[in-house]
Amino acid sequence: MKEFSDNRDLASEAIHWDQDISYGGYLDLDRLLDSQNLRTDSHDEMMFIIIHQASELWMKLCIHEIGAAMREVSRDNLGASFKMLARVSRIQAQLRQSWDVLSTMTPSDYLSFRDGLGQSSGFQSFQYREIEYALGNKNAALMEVHRGMPERYHRLKSVLEAPSFYDLCLQVLDRNGFDIPAGHLDRDWALPYEPHQAVEDAWAKVYADPEKYWSLYELAEKLVDLEHNFQMWRFSHMKTVERIIGFRHGTGGTSGVAFLKKALDLRFFPELWTVRTGL
């Protein structure tokens, strides 16, 4: 294969050497690449910072896609939401891969810069919390760590008090003639969701006749895929933390691995999991 060795190889190309908008300018790379502010001289701190920064960018895209999918579902435009949800699943795969990279760090590597983290912790990620609230893990206490940052706190509060993705999906079921309890269609959205047999029965009807309810059937599977990938992300996070720090407390004050294990028992869309047993 011929390699490009000098500008003579570019003679036939219409390269724009003087750009009004350059690649670096469009992506604001100077600011992006100047955002890795190391606090120690540890070699591994650079990797640690970049992985977490990249994860926050992926989460920003998740929020963008989930929010758009929720708007489409609220308009009964399920088909448009499916592409967005499929994209979120691909993003989640990238987030899981980040833990594979981080797991190359040994306990000694981490301890070489851990004190430089102070009390900073992934528990304080407001974007992660926004994703959880949007999907249905409504726990008001979890946003208290952001009370000192009014803009972020009020944003999270607005997501907490709005219907979750699952709440919107139950409204779609209701509009399609399924018997959804009134208390699941109009309630205090800031409170945790409580499963109901009538909701499971509605999903059972969808699964019993996919051809008749194809869009709802596809919606259900997209939600299951979304939660499955979210749980795999959580699990990868927990196992990576266990591998690096064992059962030490986290920098943000949580119990570390023990705290992360509790999250594995949480369900965003509970009836979509329980319905499988009786099908």
Numbered residues of the known binding site for heme: 237
CA distance 235 to 241: 10
CA distance 246 to 42: 20
CA distance 167 to 250: 33
Residue ranges for the known binding site for substrate are 48-52, 110, 114, 251
Look up residue 190 and give its DSSP letter.
Answer: T
**Spatial contact of 162 and 155, defined as CB atoms under 8 Å apart:** no
CA distance 210 to 46: 49
CA distance 17 to 20: 10
Q: For residue 112, give every residue at least 6 positions away whose Cβ sits within 8 Å of its Cβ, in sequence order, or none.
A: 40, 42, 43, 44, 45
**Spatial contact of 179 and 150, defined as CB atoms under 8 Å apart:** no
Residue ranges for the known binding site are 48-52, 110, 114, 237, 251
Nearest to 116 by CA among 53, 57, 44: 44
Nearest to 256 by CA among 136, 123, 106: 123
Q: If you compute the radius of gyration of the chain from its CA atoms, what whole number of angstroms results?
A: 23
Record the tokens describing residue 249, joined without a space.
């407390």
Look up residue 140 and give its DSSP letter.
Answer: G
Q: How many residues does the chain have?
A: 279
